[in-house]
Structure 1
Amino acid sequence: MSFTRSRCARALAAGTLSVALLSAGTAAAFAANEKPTPTPTMHMTGKPKPTVSPMAKASITLTANKSSVTAGQSVRLAGRTTGLKVGSPLALQHEVNGKWTKLTPTTVVKRNNSYAMTAKLPKGTHTLRVVSANKAGKAVSPTVTVKVS
């Protein structure tokens, strides 16, 4: 008889412990958020699709193939972007009397997050930058200086 009572006592203790653990887990589940943040978007294959965080800042780099040219020569400007979608428009600007004005050459972000454009500039010293307006705000490259003589 003592063997049966001990088996019964063990079963009762195991049941009580199971109920305690289950209720603690349920309480924790109610305390947690309904949806985890951020929620990954899914591809058609059911795999998470990488997305750019809205908090991620867009950036643009800029280099010129020449820092000094003669009048009539072209300057090739190129760089890379981060946080911008492929096909996003980019515009070249130069500084005139403290104000930035748009120049004719424009381009778009290519598949490998790069861009390139060619510009013919008038005589003088030109401070240039590339800009893009995206949903998160305006991305602006560092400036480069090109002297045209």
Structure 2
Amino acid sequence: MFSKRRSLRIAVVGALGTASLALAGSAMAATPAAHATTAVVAHSQAAKPGITAKPSVASVRAWQLFRVTGKATGLKAGSQVTLQQKQHGKWVSLPASTPVHRDGSYSLGVKLGIKGKNDLRIVNGGTASPVFNVTVR
């Protein structure tokens, strides 16, 4: 009887040990895949293009020159960024564009003639900066 219990105990301990190794092995196998997925997601978010824009003034006279400066991330040097103006509910590209420098910065000279509050943004393809305003008086 004593040897029967002992062999049963060894069999149960052996089965539990094998099960815990199998679980640990599957957890270890899942861990690198989870980390790889996280790394891919983080990399794709970091590569997403973005544009910032800041006007040099908040208000100008009609046809007075001012500058819009900013940074473009995720865009190649030499890529063109263009100024857009909201007119009658639609974004219209203006004849004002400039290339992005190697460090991602750009500077654009602008003259506006439509009086009042002008909603503006800088775009490159499907990437757009947040909307900013310049009032023409």
TM-score, scaled relative to structure 2? 0.65
Amino acid at match of 2:129: S
Q: CA deviation at 1:124?
A: 2.4
Encode CA deviations 1:42-92: one digit per residue, 9 max, x unaligned: xxxxxxxxxxx5552100000000010112311200100111110111110
> Does 2:128 match 1:140?
yes
In structure 2, list runs of 5 or more residues that go unmatched: 1-35, 37-42
Partners in 2 of 1:101 and 1:141 — Cα distance?
14
Residue matched to 1:124: 116
Greater helix share, structure number: 2
Residue matched to 2:90: 99
> Does 2:68 match 1:77?
yes
In structure 1, list runs of 5 or more residues that go unmatched: 1-36, 38-52
Partners in 1 of 2:135 and 2:82 — Cα distance?
20
Amino acid at match of 2:51: I
Partners in 2 of 1:98 and 1:148 — Cα distance?
18
Identity of aligned residues (%): 40
Residue matched to 2:54: 63
Partners in 1 of 2:51 and 2:119 — Cα distance?
16
Number of aligned residue pairs:
98
Amino acid at match of 2:108: M
3-state SS in 1 of match to 2:102: coil
Encode CA deviations 1:9-29: one digit per residue, 9 max, x unaligned: xxxxxxxxxxxxxxxxxxxxx
Amino acid at match of 1:144: F
3-state SS in 1 of match to 2:82: strand
